[in-house]
Amino acid sequence: MAEVKSEEKKVSRFSRWNNVLKMLAFFARNKKSFDALMKLEKMTVLLVRVNMELGKLSYKDPVYARRVEEFNFAMIQLTMAKYYAKRADSTGSGEDWNRSFQAFETSRETGLKLLEVLQSGSSEAIKYEKPALSSAGTEILFADEIPLVPEINPVVILRGSDYDMGYQYATQVIQIFGRWIFERKAGRKFTEEELGHIGEWEKQIRQYAPEILEMCRGWAAGATAAGVPMSYDDVLEIWTGHKPPETNYMGQGKDLMELPPLACSGSAAWGRATKDSRLVTGSSGDYDPTYSVTIVAYPDTGNSYVFSPFSAVGDVPLLGAVYMFGHPGMNSKGLAYVHHGGVPRMIEPKEHWGYGLRRSVSILHTLRFANNAREARDMELTYPVGDIGIDSGTAGGFYADSTYGYVLESRQDPVLIREAGVMGETDFLYANNSAIHPEAIKAGWMQYNRNDWEWDEHGGWRTKRFVPMNKWGSVEQKLPGIMSLVYNGSCNRNRYFYDTMSKGLGRMDFEYMKMMYRNGGTIPEGKWEEIAARYLKTGEWGQVSTGNAMNGLLCVMQPENGPTGRYAVCLGSAKRGLAPTSSRLGSFNPIYGETNAFWEITLAAGPAETARSGRDKAVEYLGRADTEFAKLGQEDAAYAPLKALLDMAREELQKGEQSMGTAGKALGNESLFEYSRALRAYTRSQVRSLQVYQALVPPPAKPEDLR
């Protein structure tokens, strides 16, 4: 027995050193990419710290507007650094690497100076050379040649056959962003092996959701007609990827294991939990906001729906390919897709893994053809288990309607359907990035260290003690630390949902859901370097909230059975300066042009009616803003910057009116495109007006503010 243990130790040491050598070889091959990632981590942490200081000020402070402009300059430089690094990583261009590192340095210098003057209370202006901003014939801004992520999430309206909707989608995305957005996905050369894998994914879509394939054909045609030749395979691969299904947890057979997302959240309340018994939901996509749109679709068959994918082209910074995944979504029958319901779950046994539906395909098919949450549940149970080994790879999520909700955490052996009450809820449900059903312990990966796990009655599964990340060990040695970070963080955010929603029992509504994302957490006292180091060793942190510095896209919904469902979106955090949930890179998402405001539309009877719903809100919000702004004097520090925002709101409202007029005279796709342009202008007007109104009348940020 002693000889066996000695031999096992030798094998373990060999495995450890083999992993070390592989990682060193990887870093040597990708040194500049690794350097850029390290710079990105430092910069995002720095700029979130700056933003937390900015959040302590308001437009009443004479320096606030200037500090926001300086912060936005630092964000532009960071955006440029990321853009050049991504391009250099694929082309090997030394010039682009130089540009990237120079932009990182400029951003760093600005960020450090900003942190200094904010913490000291200095009114000293920071000198910088403002980059030239232009639209370049699109609906977004470019800093020199670099496209900036829109400050306000754009909307596209689709209508007609599946082919027509794909064509319209591609056309409008190019109208908004420019041809560059599809060019990197066009004309790709796939190997025979890769085409074989795409074909296997295609077979699954053809069997369970064939409408997606027709949308892909229309998308390819629309992009090609707009000047970006795309093939059907180019587009289909965006939805499926070109690799086989994973055979190990989180791709653990690879040299390196990627850390899954640490955030994303969703909640739903109905019946006894809400003020009027109607369903209301709140969701956060916690990722680095990228070039994305919200889709309003009126298909010839099935239900109309709204859905917010995380990316217009199916990939997200750091996370990589997400196969058009996103959340949330709702349909015209009152069904809501709230959230993915906790990933990585990886509960179904490996013998069920394989080709199936990527989550985005399952969501769009379910929203279109299920009329309530029970139908959605039954439909999801018919889908193949699919690619369990990666995030976004498989079906199963969080759906709700006005009488019932569920989170499907495992679909075979065991079937785990979490319903209200399992965690002590009264007509409400919530989810973050973990499986929290009591039976989730049956997951194969949890057997590596089964005795280290415990179940919290309101937060779900977490480890009994903090398990530090193991960067050098075997897969079995790495997995506990990685999943400990993910599940412990999710447990804390689950408890936040339970506590905050319980406080609002019987009075939750649209504004309560927004409030939960303004009610931020805290970080420990002390110097940043010290608390960050302590977190990596012990997991110690402050209070945790689902409203945090990681929020990339927030949405509040109130689906209705009929043309009155409400859908509201905020890009980035709902309040400036919210704290991160940890010291890890995945907890930081500073953005350019932060607005902290939700636009709102109605999923009405058709494109014209939906556009008018945007107009009605724009007029309402502008009226509120005008009333409060009239109380200011020209000598007030807030007067000039808020007047500039009001002027923008009026200008966007006028653009919307012009497009509405054109839409009424046009035919076919041209009419549809004008209704979409009008809706985008109206939502931009809404946000600018709300920025003014909320600066003067701060919105609720705590449960007691809504009593």
CA–CA separation, 385 vs 378, rounded Å?
14
- So what's the pLDDT on residue 472? 63
The helices-and-strands tally (H runs, E runs) of the chain is: 17, 21
Which amino acid does the sequence have at 111? G
What is the residue-wise DSSP string for 353-419?
A: BSS---HHHHHHHHHHH--SHHHHHHHHHHS--B-TTSTTSS---EEE-SS-EEEEEEESSSEEEEE
In 639-703 the beta strands, taken as DSSP E runs, fall at none
CA–CA separation, 138 vs 680, rounded Å?
13
Mean pLDDT by 10 residues, the chain (707 residues): 48 48 51 89 96 98 98 97 91 93 97 98 95 95 95 98 98 98 96 98 98 98 98 98 89 51 87 98 95 98 98 89 95 98 91 96 98 98 92 91 97 97 97 96 90 96 84 69 87 97 97 98 95 88 95 97 96 97 87 98 98 98 98 98 98 98 97 98 98 98 91
- Are the CB atoms for 107 and 74 separated by under 8 Å? yes
- So what's the pLDDT on residue 505? 97
- So what's the pLDDT on residue 481? 81
Where does residue 458 rank: exposed (0-12), middle (13-18), buried (19+ CB within 10 A)? middle
- Are the CB atoms for 338 and 268 separated by under 8 Å? yes
- So what's the pLDDT on residue 474? 65
Residue 541 C-beta-side C-alpha neighbours within 13 Å: 22
Relative to beta strand 460-463, strand 265-269 is unpaired
CA–CA separation, 323 vs 204, rounded Å?
15
CA–CA separation, 143 vs 131, rounded Å?
6
What is the residue-wise DSSP string for 166-185?
A: HHHHHHHHHHHH-THHHHTT
Rounded (5°) CA angle 155-212-351: 120
CB-CB neighbours of 10 under 10 Å:
10
CA–CA separation, 422 vs 439, rounded Å?
11
